[in-house]
Chain A
Amino acid sequence: MDFYNIVFYLFALITVVSAAFVVTTKNVIHSAFFLLFTFFGVAGIYVLLGADFIAVVQIMVYVGGILILLLFGVMLTNKITDVEIRTGTIHLLPAAIGVGVFMGALIAVMVWTNWKSVPTEIPLTTTKTLGNLLITDYVLIFELLGILLLIALIGAASIARRDKE
């Protein structure tokens, strides 16, 4: 087996196993920390696909932003020394059916789609190309996303602001 294959399976294993732990662990904090390894595994797979920029953005946004926010949320909203934060399972049957159908659909698409595989050279870096595309072909979406984030920012600031008596 190729060295890169081993690395790929390692990352895939990390992702899948830690994702399984995220949903099965009873402790919310443990789930959040397992999520860290899931995000890292996904970032590793991005690197192997030659998407260096996306991989770093994955770590930056998910680990550096969302995960920290999540941990803050859990730690601040509960009693701060309380370890007993538990998650339970409800509606087992409908959930299993829903997930089963969704997974079946995904696998069906994966198996029956006629994937076009064209051997291309992995680009050395994707940053410049991505930047060019964002500011030319996808500029409208880019600007809209910027406005969306701005709205979220203003919303957060206005919620956090204390009204003067």
Chain B
Amino acid sequence: MYQYFYNLLGNEIAATLITAAVPLVNVLLVALIGVYLERKVSAHMQDRLGPMRTGWHGVFQTVADFIKMLQKEDAVSTEIDKKLYNIAPVLVFTGTFAAYAAIPFSSQLIGSEAEVGIFYVVAISSLVVAGILMAGWSSNNKYSLLGAMRSAAQIVSYEIPTAIVILSMVMLTGTLSLDKFSQMQTAYFWNWNIFGGAELGLVKFLLIPFMVVGFIIVFISTLAEVNRTPFDIPEAESELVAGYFTEYCGMKWAMFMLSEYGNMFAVSAIVTILFFGGYQSPVGYVGDLVGADWMIPLEQGFWFLAKGWFFIFVQMWLRWTLPRLRVDQLMSLCWKYLIPYAFVNLIIIGFISLI
């Protein structure tokens, strides 16, 4: 993709900008469709219909909402820390979007082929924590600050089990690059890491149960990192109004929403790449069958988005099924269960990969 535009335009910067626009469009689409889907999924789970009036089954609801948001007055209270208050939404969104730089959408559409891929994604998401703290503090509101504190504590703690599971996967595959992760799990679903990776043998079958454990740990902890229910205590509506973005409205509020949905897709993508073959198709490629090579990257893009959306759906499903955890339950789940299990899993995977 980058190479294509580079050949077309002959300019590094322009080619990079165009390539970078693709994930941005993706984030916008994820937010647009995600908000609609969330309403529909929640409605159907509660035996309601959800939005029905704007267009067929309300498909234009989020578009209408977006137009409303653009027109809103930017109401700013007087007792806030103006500078930080204005920077915070941008910072949060930057942290979210920066993670997309390393995510391979297909074998041809990779922002950065940096070797440190997964490590970079884990590191850069800490920017979101700083942004959330900034938002909560600068709002000069008790609820905002409490929400920000909870959120930061939660994200920082749940980074640990995620990092340990990622470490075990890195140990197994010997690479940090997200693209190589995807390439190694070749184009059939039994070659995915959740089914023990591409190499056939005793090791593959020994690995399966520990891969499943790893997947469950990483899924729970990434769910907590994006502040989704059952881990949404930072913005618990019934306790904290709206948590760290209580004081925001209009487009600044929309930035936080955009960031939340962007984060949801990003963590889905990470789970997909780690365990479910990344952009690889589960059943082989049509392009291979008919001998059209140009089709393969497109199909890979399709499968990647499909897997990403599937995990977003699972996140919504869990949100409307499970009640919220208490703060102490949240911390004890992380420190007393997930982290020890992740460590044991790490050691066992280490031993198995030595066989």
Binding site for B on A (CB under 8 A): 3, 29-30, 33, 36, 52-53, 56-57, 59-60, 63-65, 67-68, 71-72, 75-76, 80-81, 83, 124-125, 127
Contact = CB atoms under 8 A, between A and B. Distances in A.
B140 A3 contact: no
Closest 8 A/B residue pairs (Cβ)? A64-B126, A125-B115, A60-B123, A59-B123, A56-B123, A52-B116, A56-B116, A56-B120
A36 B140 contact: no
B126 A52 contact: no
Given A3-B13, A63-B127, A64-B159, A127 B115 contact: yes
A121 to B, nearest CB: 15
B45 interface: no
B149 A75 contact: yes
B219 interface: no
A63 B126 contact: yes
Contact of A36 (B116, B119, B130): B130
Interface residues of B, number: 30
B217 to A, nearest CB: 20
Given A52-B114, A56-B119, A83-B81, A127 B126 contact: no
B18 interface: no
B133 A68 contact: yes
Nearest to A57: B123
Contacts of B115: 52, 124-125, 127
Contacts of B145: 75, 80-81
B334 interface: no
Interface of B: 12-13, 81, 83-84, 87, 114-116, 119-120, 122-124, 126-127, 129-130, 133-134, 137, 140, 142, 145, 149, 152-153, 156, 159, 176
Given A3-B12, A68-B133, A72-B149, 12 more contacts: A29-B137, A56-B119, A56-B123, A60-B126, A64-B129, A64-B156, A67-B130, A68-B130, A71-B152, A75-B149, A76-B149, A125-B115
A124 B84 CA distance: 37
23 contacts: A3-B12, A29-B81, A30-B84, A36-B130, A56-B119, A57-B123, A59-B127, A60-B119, A60-B122, A60-B123, A60-B126, A63-B123, A63-B126, A64-B123, A64-B129, A64-B159, A71-B130, A71-B152, A72-B152, A75-B137, A80-B142, A81-B142, A125-B114
A164 to B, nearest CB: 18
B130 A127 contact: no
Contacts of A71: 130, 133, 137, 152
A81 B137 CA distance: 8
Contacts of B87: 33
Contacts of B153: 72
Nearest to A54: B116
A87 to B, nearest CB: 16
A82 B12 CA distance: 48
Contacts of A125: 114-116
Contacts of B84: 29-30, 33
B116 A127 contact: yes
A3 B159 CA distance: 35
Nearest to B176: A127
A139 B243 CA distance: 46
B256 to A, nearest CB: 18
B147 to A, nearest CB: 12
Nearest to B129: A68
Contacts of A3: 12-13
A114 to B, nearest CB: 34
Contacts of A52: 114-116
A14 to B, nearest CB: 14
Nearest to B136: A75
Given A3-B12, A81-B140, A68 B152 contact: yes
A3 B11 CA distance: 11
Contacts of B142: 80-81
B140 A83 contact: yes
A141 B182 CA distance: 35
Contacts of B134: 33
A145 to B, nearest CB: 17
Contacts of A29: 81, 84, 137
B116 A53 contact: yes
A59 B126 contact: yes
